Amino acid sequence: MFEEPYRWVEAVGNRRQYLDEQFKRGSPVVALSYADGILLLTVSRGTPKLYEIYDRIALGGMGHPADLEKLRFSLLEMAHVEGFNRSPSDVTGARLMKYGLAPTIKQAFEEVFRAPFIVKILVAELGLRPGRDAFLTVNYDGVFEEATGWAALAATPAIQAEMGAYLRQECDLASASLEQAVSSAVCAWAVGSLAQIRERTEDDPSEERSGQSKDVQSAPAPLDKGRLLAHLRETVAEKTIECAVLDRGAPGSSKYRPLKPDEIGRLLPRELKNLTREESR
């Protein structure tokens, strides 16, 4: 009887280790405020990772697609029931996170006789001005954080911090154009992707490093924009950049708009434009 608490702690520790392994090859997600709204960006192999949840609320995720879909539909249902029973203004990202998403994920993680959700989720809520935009992220164990200005998902909190450090040294994002926001977001994504590659190779030096240059695999070094864009060129050759915006000036109540490949191509840094045109042919 006295061993039961220890066994529970041990079981939770084992699933934490298991889940950490699942995210090592995941694609980071970046969301940031800009002058006219919020931009969400990731890179994927075709399975969408960015979604609309409600009029001014969007979701980005990394992890198992089936788990992400299950939680997304649960969140959609909660948002629309809340909006119908109360009012659209009562549907907020904080309410959806604190009373819906985080408790559900936490319960699944701590009940050791059921499978946990292999997900990390970012919720972005559009405000009337950039300073009122809200970002919330939730980990696979149900721990959530609130932020303003930007938010990121990555394999570990340390990598998310690296992405944040890059964004903080960028120009004033709150007054940036959409083109500037896309440039900052793709570079922040590259910071996270490179850091994940670095951590994988540190954990397992024998891991095959196909498709990555020696420079990319080396220990932490100052990441200039040229190096970040070079990594993006390698990555986008096999994957797709996915972007969506919550547009403050969009007519009607729904502010969510996914960006089409041609539009993304026009907004990307010059070094990536030619590659995007080749993909669209």
Instruction: Look up the CATH number of the domain holding residue 163.
Output: 3.60.20.10
Dihedral sign, Cα of residue 91, residue 77, residue 241, residue 199: positive
Query: Would 224 be classed as within a structural domain?
Result: yes
Query: Would 152 be classed as within a structural domain?
Result: yes
What is the residue-level pLDDT of the chain in tens, covering all 281 positions?
Answer: 445 676 888 888 999 999 999 999 999 999 999 999 999 999 998 889 999 999 999 999 999 999 999 999 999 999 999 999 999 989 999 999 999 999 999 999 999 888 999 999 999 999 988 889 999 999 999 999 999 999 999 999 999 999 999 998 876 788 899 999 999 999 999 999 999 999 988 876 655 544 444 444 444 445 788 889 899 888 887 889 999 999 999 999 999 999 999 999 999 988 776 654 444 44
**pTM score over 0.95:** no
Tokens of 207: 């891991």
Q: What is the 3-state secondary structure (H, E, C) of 21-45?
A: HHCCCCCCEEEEEECCEEEEEEEEC
Query: Would 244 be classed as within a structural domain?
Result: yes
Count of domains for the chain: 1
Give the strands of the sheet with 37-44, arranged side by side. 150-153, 29-34, 37-44, 240-247, 256-258
Query: Would 275 be classed as within a structural domain?
Result: no
Secondary structure of the chain: what % helix, strand, coil (to 5)? 50, 20, 30
Give the strands of the sheet with 119-125, arranged side by side. 50-54, 57-63, 119-125, 134-138, 144-147
Query: Would 154 be classed as within a structural domain?
Result: yes
Residue 171 burial (CB count, 10 A): 11
Query: Would 193 be classed as within a structural domain?
Result: yes
Query: Would 278 be classed as within a structural domain?
Result: no
Query: Would 273 be classed as within a structural domain?
Result: no
CA–CA dist 222, 25 (Å, integer): 22
Domain of residue 78 covers 4-266
